Amino acid sequence: MAGKFASDVAKVAKDIVGATFWLKKTVTSSAILTTSVDITGVAVGGELVIEDVLIKSDGTGLAAGTTFRVVSNNSNGTTSVFMYPVAKLGANKQTSFERAFNDPATQSIVLGVNIPVVLELGKKLSVSNTDAASTGAGTIDIYIKFRKLSDSSRIVAA
């Protein structure tokens, strides 16, 4: 009986306002263009706070482009969620909101980037580079931590 109760509580806890969850998307370097490439579907059921973004590169990493970006198509506020120099996402690198925010190389990019942001209902996330598309077969894993602002808020990887 205790096992079922714990299981029921866990199911309810993941669906309440304030619950957090992570979404992972792996992207190949050559798929990152200067135009937006979707990494999620749209937020449904309510808004979501993006609390953190973690980026991990494989043994090859990203090549070409100037700045790697995770952007939203939000109607209000900045659309830039995460920005980091492609040159710092080579082989076996890792970064996050905090690291990117505190990195002197990113502090002049855009005000309001690399900090928590609300993803609006019906909006999605995509990736792109500035200046040039990436090349090569390297990959990055993008982990995004969301906090639900509604019991029914949810999103899935594209």
pLDDT, residue 112, reads: 72
Q: Is the pLDDT of residue 4 over 80?
A: no
12's CB contacts (< 8 A; 6+ apart) are none
Give the per-residue pLDDT at 61. 95
| Domain residue spans of the chain | 2-148
Which of 20-34, 41-55, 99-113 has the weakest average pLDDT?
A: 99-113
Residue 147 has pLDDT above 80, yes or no: yes
* % residues pLDDT > 70 (the chain): 89
d(CA 70, CA 142): 9
Residues of 106-145 as b/e, b for ≥16 C-beta within 10 angstroms?
A: beebeeebbbebbbbbebbbbbbbeeebbeeebbbebebb
Structural contact between residues 137 and 29, judged by C-beta atoms closer than 8 angstroms: yes
Does this model's pTM top 0.85?
yes
CA-to-CA dists, residue 94 to 40, 58, 82, angstroms: 21, 9, 13
Q: What is the CATH number of domain 2-148?
A: 2.60.120.1330
